[in-house]
Amino acid sequence: MDTAMVIDLSRQALWTAMLVCAPLLLVALAVGLFIGIIQAATSVNESTLSFIPKLIVMGLALLAFGSWQLVTLIDFTRSIFQRIPTLFT
C-alpha cells in the first residue's frame, strides 16, 4: 500500500462522512436559526426551547434521508472491501 492509495482512501472516507452528515447538520442549522430568530423577536431567552423542535425535525430528516445515507455508507463499505485484494500487492 503506497502513500497515494492511503491519501485517496482517506479523502474518500472524509468525503463520504461529509455527504452522510451534511443533510442532518443543515436541517439542524436551519431549525436552530429559525428558532433563534423567533426567540429574538419575542425576547424569550430560553435555551431549552429549541431542543424539542430540533429533535422532531431531525427525526423527520432522518426518515427522509436515512435510506440514502445507508445506501451511501454501504457503497463506501463495498468499495473498501473490493480494494482489499489490491492493498498489499
Number of domains composing the chain: 1
d(CA 3, CA 32): 41
Cell of 19: 455527504
6, part of any domain: no
Q: Give tens-digit pLDDT for 35-72.
A: 989 988 988 878 778 889 999 999 999 999 999 999 99
Mean pLDDT score across all residues of the chain: 91
71, part of any domain: yes
Domain that holds residue 60: 21-84
Q: What is the pTM of this model?
A: 0.80
89, part of any domain: no
d(CA 74, CA 80): 10
Would the pLDDT of 21 be above 80?
yes
1, part of any domain: no
Reduced DSSP (H G I as helix, E B as strand, rest coil) percent helix, strand, coil of the chain, to 5: 90, 0, 10
The amino acid sitting at 16 is: T
59, part of any domain: yes
